Structures are given as C-alpha cells and as structure tokens.
Amino acid sequence: MSAQAEGMVVGLLRRTWAMTWKDVTVELRARERVNAMLFFAALVLFIFNFALGPDREKLREVAPGLLWLAFLFTGILGLGHSFQAERENECFEELLLTPGDRESIFFGKLAGNVLFMVTAEALILPLFGILYNLDIWAYLPSLALVAFLGTLGFSTLGTLLAAMTAHLRAREVMLPLLLFPLTVPVILGSVRATEGILAGGGLGEVSHWLKLLGGFDLIFLVVSPLVFEFVLEE
Amino acid sequence: MGSWGFIGLAYGVGSVALLLYLILLKRRLRGAQEELAALEGDGGRRTR
Amino acid sequence: MGERTVIASVPWAPEQGRAGARPSLAAKVLGAAAVLVLATGLYLGLVVVPPDAVQGEVQRIMYLHVPSIVTAYLAFFVVFCSSILYLWKRDLRFDAVAVSSAEIGVLLTGTTLATGSIWGKSTWGVWWTWDARLTLTAILFTIYVGYLMLRSFAEDPRAGARYGAVLAIIGFLDIPLNHMAVQWWRTLHQSSSILRPGGPSVASVMLVPLAINFAGLVLLCTCLLLERIRLERIRHRAAEARLKRGRRG
C-alpha cells in the first residue's frame, strides 16, 4: 500500500475511533442508554412468558424468536438514542465541521451502536437461558457469531436510518417502521440460525443463513457510508 | 361465493383502486393549479 | 469535497402562462392506448382463454395479479434510477419522477396484495397465508409506504427528497435479499405441499393475456406517471412563486 493510501486509512480509523470513544464516554457517564435497553429486554422476556402461557415445550419451540425479539426491540431503543445528543444540542452542524470524511462519522456511530447492542445482548442471553431453561453455554461460540452478524446488519441500516429520522416528526415511530421491513433478511437469518444451533445442528447446518447474514452485512457496510453523506448534509 | 364472484371481487378491487387514485390525482391537480394561479396572479399584480 | 449549492430555481424551463396547465398530448395518447390494450387483455383473459385445468375459473385472477406486481417492480426500479440521478445531478425533475413512480408502485403493490389475498381465499379458503409471495409483497408495500411517509414527514421538501432518495436506493438493493430470505424460510419450513406458492406452470395460451395486460398496465401507469409529474411541476412553480413573493413582500 502506498504511503498516501496508508495515511488515509490510518486517518479514517483514528477519526472513527474518536467518534466511538465520544459516544462511549457519554454513555459511561450517563448510563441511560444501556440501562433502558436492559430493563426493556428483561421486561420483554418476562411478558412473553405470561403471554404465551406455561407450556414448557411451546416456549422452547419459540425461544429463538423470543430471544431475537428481545434483542431487536432493545436494539431499536438504543438506535433511537444514537443521534439524540446531537439533535438535542443541535450538534449536527458541529459534526459536519469536524475535519474528515462522513464515512468515519458513520463508522464511528456504527461501532458505538454495535458495542451497546452487543453489550446488552451479552447480558440478556444468560437471563434468557435461565428464564427459558435453555443450555446456551454449550453453544455459546456459535450463538455469539450469529448474534454478531445479525447485530452488525441491523445496526448498519439502523445507524443510517437513525440519522435520517432524527429530525423528523414522529421519529419514534418512523425508525421502526422503516427499519424492520428492510431488515427482514437479518431477522429471518438470525432467528433461523439460532434455532438451528440450539437444536444442536452446528454451524454447518445453518451455513446458508450465515451466508445470507454475511452478504447482507457486506452489501450495506459498503453502501451505507457512501449514502450517509447525503443524509448529513445541509 | 362462486368462482366468478371472486374474480369479480378481484378485478373490482383493482378497478376501484385505480379509479380512486385517478380521481384523487385530478383533484390534487386542480387544487395545485388554483393555488398557483392565486400566487402568480397576485404576484403579477403587485409588480405593477 | 465540492460545495452543494442550494437549488432555488425551478428546474423546468422558464414557464410562461399556462405551460403544464393541461394534460400533455403524450399522456392523453398513452391513456387512450392503455384503455384499448387493457380492454383486449381483459376480454382475452376473462372470456376467450379456457379455464385452468387444476384451479378452474379463479385462475383468471392471475391475469391481473401477475402483471400488477411485475409493473410494480418496474415502477420501483424507476424510483431507484431517478433517486440515484437526483443525488448525482440535484435536478428536482428526477425527484419528481421518483416520488411519482413510488406512488404508482404503491398503488400497484396494494392491488397485488388485494388480488393475491382474494385468490388465496378462493383457492385455500383463507384471506392470508404467510407464503413467500404474499409475504414478500407485503414487505415491499411497507417499504415504499415508508418511503412516502418519510418524504412527507421531513422538515423541508429538499431534505425529504434527499432522505427519500437514500431510502429508495437502500430499499431497492434490499429486495433481492428479502426474496432469498423469505423463500428459504418458506421452502425449508413448508411441510404441506398444498400450500406451495408456485402453482401450476403456465400454459402458453395463458401467456397471451398476461403479456397484453402487462403492456396495458405499463401504458396506463406511464400515463398516470406523466400526470403525477405534472402535479409536481405545478407544485414546484407554486413554491417558486411563494419564494418570489417572500422576496418582494
């Protein structure tokens, strides 16, 4: 790689890290995002139990779907907050003044969102295993891989759409309304893969779902930063 | 409902949807033209 | 990175008097042609062509259902292309094409959903099944209704155009991924062959009304598109007139 290209990549990484670090430190101080996400997820897991009744077998059948419902609702909650600080303090213009490309802003925000969502998932998963009596520890590496791929895909489009809806009327409704239909491949892929893994199938059996998740992630990791600049400008 | 009942329902729904869109479009066009005439008519007068 | 200038002028050629005040000749011709073609297609599909051996008469619903969804995909492809062109050239005419084509696409997709549901009721006795086709159509519908909502909720029309263009690009790229996901989901899970979404293969005589109706719908929707673009054009002129009044007043 030429020196110039190398310099550009380093610059991109450094600016991305700066953006992520800013979001993380803000969260560490206020702790409102992850707290809200965790509480909501616990609530969801509990309520599903009441809604679906005491039949153990039925619950085990739908468990992967329930897990991902908890992940996704929690994720949406977190995504809704991701541009909150900028919107409230009207820092959008300041974001644009920071030297550097829009791509690093996008990746920085994305990394922060993925970090928060994965943190929440890491805490939700054991709770889920306990409440629904599932042996998640045996399959942890595979489950983690699926969770990461799904979270990445969901957060990629989620970050883009969160930036778009931050300014809108009825934005709490618009973000899920726009994001969920677009992320159906992620939802289906993640739930089916999780289902296959918990049934003891192993990664080989669910490889086509993993490929779908990987393909989705790749396509939108490339396209989203490219169109992100059109979302930020004004 | 017999076979032809369902067929009639399907084509009926399609036609109604289309007609409604057309009618609403015409109405929107009329409204926009009136608004434009008001804006441009007034504006024209003011420059005199 | 270049500066993006704020577009304050109306993109259409300087309009005098009544330009754009009446439907264009093209729209009228297309409309008339559409009526003729669709009448032919309907006659062939409902009267001339024999009923399907397996499904009976209700199969005739396909002569509306299938051309409807194919034309919808065409409309959304137009939205995709004009969105890219808008973001590239910043000519509001491309945006006018995008929003107009999206509205028509939503209309067509809604019709597809309704006719698909009715056909399902007549064949399987239920208004809704989560089979691949209906599910995919429902997702498509939701994505582009979301597009229209996004545009209308934006704080100013130019932001709405920008956001819409981005969403349209993402949405269209998403369609093949949705197809794969939903089809794998149904085929890998479907235990009963009665609910197989494929249906019987199409006999060659049945392709005729399908093709004719498709052509008719394309003609009709192009006519509607031209009229809807004309509406945008009038709205743009009104916006410019309002701007001018603001400056003067």
For residue A89, give its domain range. 3-232
Give the pLDDT of chain A (234 residues) as one tens digit per residue: 678 778 777 877 887 888 888 888 877 776 777 788 888 888 888 888 888 877 878 888 888 999 999 999 999 999 988 887 766 666 666 666 665 678 888 998 999 999 999 999 999 999 888 888 888 888 899 999 999 999 999 999 999 999 999 888 888 899 999 999 999 999 999 999 999 998 887 778 889 999 999 999 999 999 999 999 899 876
Contact yes or no for A208/A185 (Cβ under 8 A): no
Residues of chain B with pLDDT under 70: 42-48
In this prediction, residue A38 carries a pLDDT of 84
Q: So what's the ipTM on this one?
A: 0.88
* Residues in chain C within 8 Å Cβ distance of B13: 111, 114-115, 118
In this prediction, residue C102 carries a pLDDT of 98
**Domain assignment present for C42:** yes
**Domain assignment present for C2:** no
Mutation pick from C85, C174, C175, C183 vs chain A, by most beta carbons of A within 10 Å, is C174
> With an 8 Å Cβ cutoff, are C231 and B32 in contact?
yes
**Domain assignment present for C215:** yes
CA proximity to C35, closest of C187, C220, C225, C211: C220
Angle, to 10 degrees, between the axis of helix A171-182 and the axis of helix C157-189?
Answer: 40
Which chain C residue lies closest to B9 (C-alpha atoms)?
C118
In this prediction, residue A2 carries a pLDDT of 77
Which of A97-111, C182-196, C216-230 is least confident? C182-196
What is the widest separation between alpha-carbon atoms in chain A?
63
DSSP per-residue string spanning B3-45:
HHHHHHHHHHHHHHHHHHHHHHHHHHHHHHHHHHHHHHHHHHH
Q: For chain B, say whether C154 makes contact (Cβ under 8 Å).
A: no
**Domain assignment present for C5:** no
For residue C224, give its domain range. 25-189+208-241
What is the band of C3 on the pLDDT scale with cuts at 50, 70, 90? very low
Please state the rounded mean pLDDT for residues C89-95.
93
**Domain assignment present for C247:** no
Q: CA C168, CA C83: separation in Å to the nearest integer? A: 7
The larger pLDDT score, comparing residue C108 to residue C12, is at C108
> With an 8 Å Cβ cutoff, are B7 and C61 in contact?
yes
Which chains does B contact via 3+ CB–CB distances below 8 A?
C
Contact yes or no for C182/C132 (Cβ under 8 A): yes
Which of B4-13, C9-18, C177-186 is least confident? C9-18
Q: CA A206, CA A64: separation in Å to the nearest integer? A: 14
Phi then psi dihedrals of residue C56, to 5 deg: 80, -155
In this prediction, residue B2 carries a pLDDT of 80
> With an 8 Å Cβ cutoff, are B39 and C230 in contact?
no
Q: For chain A, say whether C200 makes contact (Cβ under 8 Å).
A: no
In this prediction, residue C8 carries a pLDDT of 44
**Domain assignment present for C180:** yes
* Residues in chain A within 8 Å Cβ distance of C167: 161, 164, 178
What is the band of C18 on the pLDDT scale with cuts at 50, 70, 90? low
What is the band of C189 on the pLDDT scale with cuts at 50, 70, 90? low
Number of domains in chain A: 1
Number of domains in chain C: 1
Alpha helices (H) along A31-91:
32-52, 56-81, 84-88
DSSP per-residue string spanning C127-186:
S----HHHHHHHHHHHHHHHHHHHHHHSSSHHHHHHHHHHHHHHHHHHHHHHHHHHHHHH
